[in-house]
Structure formats: C-alpha cells, structure tokens
Chain A
C-alpha cells in the first residue's frame, strides 16, 4: 500500500516539473508553430543562474527564505533577457519558413547555448541545496517527503491556472487565441501579431527558466542537464496534443505516473516506458489526446 502511495506521490511531483516545462513548449508551438529545441538550454540557463544567485544570496548572509525570491528573480531575468533576444534577434527573421527549418534554427540555438553555458559557468557542478533543505519534511502515511516538493507542485498549479485564466478570460488572451487560429486574419483585424509572438516567446522562455530554477536546488546543476529535458517534454506535449495546455497537463500526469511506476517496480524500463506510452497514444490518436480543432484553409 505504501508502495502505491509512493508511486503516486513521486509521480505527481515529477508531473509538476514536467508540466512547467511542457507548458512553455506547447504555448510557443501553439502560437508560433515553432518547436523550440532550445527550450532545454533555457531550462539549464534558469538552473545555472538561480544556482549562482542563491549562492551569492546565502554567501552574503541574508535571510535564508530570500533564496526563494532569488529563484523567482533568475527565472524572470532569463525570460526577459533571452526571450526578446532570441525572438527579435533571430526567430523574427525566419517566420514564413517551413516548420522543419525553424526546428533546425532552434537546434542551432541549442548548440550555441550549450557551449555558452559551459563558457560562463565552467564544467563543474553547482550545488545550492538551501531552498530545498530549509522547510524540512512532511509525512504522508509512513513516507517522509521534503516540503520543497509542495513548492514545486504549487508552482506548477499556479503556472497552469494563471496561463489558463490569461488565455481564456483576458482581452490579450483572446487576441492570442485568435492568432493561434489564424494569424493572417488576426493581423487584418488589427492585432499586432509581431508583439503577440514576442510576448508568447518571452513567457515560454520564462516558463523554461522557472522549470530550471525550481529544479536547481534538488540536484547538481551540471553541464548537459538541458539535453534530456527537451526530449522528455516533447513526449509530454505530443501525448497531450501539440499546442494544447490541458493536453500538456494530462500528458505530464500520464508520463509522471508511468515513469514513477516504472522506477518503483521495474527500473530497467524507465526511459523506455515513457516513450512506449507516447508511441501507444500516437497509434491510437495520431495527433495526441487533445488537439485544438484546426480551421481548414484553401
């Protein structure tokens, strides 16, 4: 019984992290039709920056709980700097090209960022466990978990709800949905599509950095940490249906639970299990579980 509980709790914790990553990826794809391979590097960038800032904060002898503010600050910084830089400086020049060409462009960005991170931070791992250790543990049944995991789950829920609210209940969100549906008609109706793209990419970048920032305290921040993330979050997004926020949430939950079950009961198939689920979903529903209906254009 406690085994099953552990699977569920671990699964939910893992799903929250996956969702934060996948939400940014699916948002950018939904609006801009760009599958951003550099998402993994932006995640690593968020992790590195937060590790540095938290390290400085703690070394400076400030209040320990302020380290959470440092996590948030680094995610914000990465989003606000890297988002506009990449969108205005590079992607803007590529709009109208084939989706696959844009995939290659983001792959090139990924390669550049991987080395840039190594040049700035070196190849040694960084450890910042303070935010993780600070709040202590809580128990479910006879299992003990760090309270920090609740922060992780909370971040995912807040991010998901905020995105859903912004998309469906605000003026700007509705304009964004219009751009998703048909960017040409939106432009004709007076929506500044270029600005929508800029804002979307910045928010997506910020989400990747948030994913990195909240993960940084839980592991050794090391070179190459962004590489696997992109493939995993892609699996999540594809299971849910590219471009669907609800789909990303469901996909994250499925992948999270499947993976934690595999880790507990049959560790050999850990990676395999995630992609088999993806393959099975795609065989049954080639476009994922939720796909926004697409208007046919002639």
Chain B
C-alpha cells in the first residue's frame, strides 16, 4: 500500500490552519492543548517503537514548561519562539545526560526509572519557594519572533502548535523510515541480533530518548504558553501516566495516531469534567483495560484493519 501519511498530515494541517479564524475561542484552546500533548505522545510513540515505555515523560513536559517560563521570568524575554526554543534545548540537554543512565535499561526498569527521575524534578520544584513551590507561577507571551501578538495570542499560538506538530510528525515519519528508525524496530524485536549485526543498541536508544525528550519539552513549552500558568504537577507521575494512556489508546502504528488519540482524550476529558467528574479516572482505567484486551495495537489499528478490508 502506498504511504499516504505525509499527504494526510499536510492536508489536515492546512485545513486546521485555514479554519483558525473561524474557530471559537474555547475550541482553539482545546485543540492547542491536544496538539501540545500529542507532541509528547509522539515522543512516547518513538520510544515504544524501540520497545520502551517511559512512565516519566512528564519530566520533559514539565522541564520544557519551566524552561519557557524561566526565560520569561529571569531575562524578561517573552517572545514565544525563543521560549519554545529554550524548552526544547533544556529538555534535550537533560535527556542527553540522563540517557547515559537510562539507555542501559529495558522493560519495567526503564519505565519505573524514568518515573523516579520525573519524581525527582517534582520533589525539587515542590520545595523551591523561588519557583512558586506547589502553586507554580503565571507566564505571559507578548510576541512571536519579534511580531506583536497581543489580543489574538490564543489563535497565533494554535497556528504555531499546528506547524510544530506537523513538522515534528513529518520529521518523525521520515526518521522511522530511515536507517536508524528501522534499527529501532529491530531493537524491539531482538536486541541481541542488532548487536551481532554491528549496530550499537545503546546509541540508538540514547538518541531516541533524546528525541522523545525534545518533543516532550516542546509539548510542555506550548502547553505553558497556551495555559499561561505552570505548576509542578506537570512532572507528577500521573501526568506521565496520562501520556502513556494516550499512547496506548492511539497505538504506535502511525505518527498521525497520537494526534487522533490526544484529541479524543481531550474531548472525553472535557465532557467527563462536565458530566461525570467522579468516575473520570475509572472510565480511563476501564477504557485502557478494554484496549489492552481487544485492540492491543491501539485504536489506530482498528481503523487500519477496516481500511484494508474494504
């Protein structure tokens, strides 16, 4: 079958970007959040393709958000582009260091270690009064790459988010089909054979971990700009659990899946907050069990199977 992922991605992005002026404010916010979190999930998808589940992507999500906010707070730079750049660089730099430790682990050790690392950040942030402790602090954005965006910041930010997601998804799609990307799948299938064939498993895992972190940082930075407020809960392990949930929900078969999953998740969450706030987590848990049992490759796989059958 011919790969139409990039065409679909481009078409969807253009349609979404073109309809920004018509979109009501609340929906703008919702889509921005869904896409920003979709970016974090995109990173998780890359890790899952390598056979790794990280229960600690919240670390980079939070790190990106705080990096963006700190750029504003300490240097009084409130340009969205610079803040996002800071978010990506901070996340990637931390991941490059932590990767030396984590690249040696697989399976639940990897999952739980990454969780512990994000809890370290949470513990530090909660105790640091200078950064607002458990309350976090507010951030403001006034310009994008020099141009003033006050008044329509939400819509401009949605545009930035759409472009970021499209670029990241397209890039990741190319990467997954490249030499290194195919090695990732091979590592998941049989690590020992990859080593015998002369490739360094450790380096590939390390690289993928850094890419996933950069995506997480970008997602965190975008969320921080969209919400205008950050707090340490972004690094709490239940936040990471949410990303894992969306990744499992959407499946790892395609780079478009995280966006669909993330949008579905945000929509359900908005509805649940309104009508059934008390059983929200329970619904998530039940849905997760159902997916693991009946559609272990995620909702995307159902869609694919049907498409092929018809």
Contact = CB atoms under 8 A, between A and B. Distances in A.
Contacts of B225: none
Contact of B292 (A104, A110, A275): A104
Interface in A269-298: 269-272, 275-276, 278-279, 282-283, 286
Contact of A282 (B101, B120, B244, B279): B101
A103 B109 CA distance: 11
Most chain-B CB neighbours within 10 Å: which of A103, A108, A116, A272?
A108
A203 interface: no
Contacts of A234: 112, 115-116
Interface in A192-245: 227, 231, 234-235, 238, 242
Interface in A248-277: 267-272, 275-276
Interface stretch (B84-92, B211-219, B282-290): B282-290
Contacts, number: 110
B175 interface: no
A109 B109 CA distance: 20
Interface in A96-133: 98-101, 103-105, 107-112, 114-116, 118-119
A121 B172 CA distance: 46
B53 A111 contact: no
B43 to A, nearest CB: 17
Contacts of B61: none
B53 A276 contact: no
B111 A271 contact: no
B108 A108 contact: no
A69 interface: no
A238 B122 CA distance: 20
10 contacts: A35-B112, A90-B289, A101-B296, A108-B284, A108-B285, A108-B286, A111-B281, A115-B280, A268-B127, A269-B123
Given A99-B108, A100-B107, A118 B115 contact: no
B280 to A, nearest CB: 7
A90 B293 CA distance: 10
Nearest to A237: B112
Contacts of B296: 101
Interface in B106-126: 107-109, 111-113, 115-117, 119-120, 122-124, 126
Contact of B281 (A99, A105, A114, A269): A114
Contact of A108 (B111, B117, B279, B288): B288
Contact of A112 (B101, B105, B119, B282): B282
B95 interface: no
B104 interface: yes
Given A108-B286, A119-B278, A275-B120, 10 more contacts: A100-B53, A103-B53, A103-B111, A107-B285, A108-B292, A114-B281, A115-B281, A272-B120, A279-B117, A279-B120
Nearest to B48: A100
B281 A112 contact: yes
Interface of A: 35, 90, 93-94, 98-101, 103-105, 107-112, 114-116, 118-119, 227, 231, 234-235, 238, 242, 267-272, 275-276, 278-279, 282-283, 286
Categorize the interface residue count of chain B.
35 or more
B116 A275 contact: yes
Interface string B117-142: 10110111011100000000000000
Given A104-B53, A105-B289, A275-B116, A286 B281 contact: no
A231 B113 CA distance: 10
B288 A104 contact: yes
Given A104-B53, A112-B286, A275-B117, A286 B104 contact: yes
Contact of B238 (A35, A99, A104, A227): A227
B292 A101 contact: yes
Contacts of A286: 104-105
Given A35-B112, A105-B292, A111-B288, A275 B119 contact: yes
Contacts of B120: 271-272, 275-276, 279
Contacts of A119: 278-279
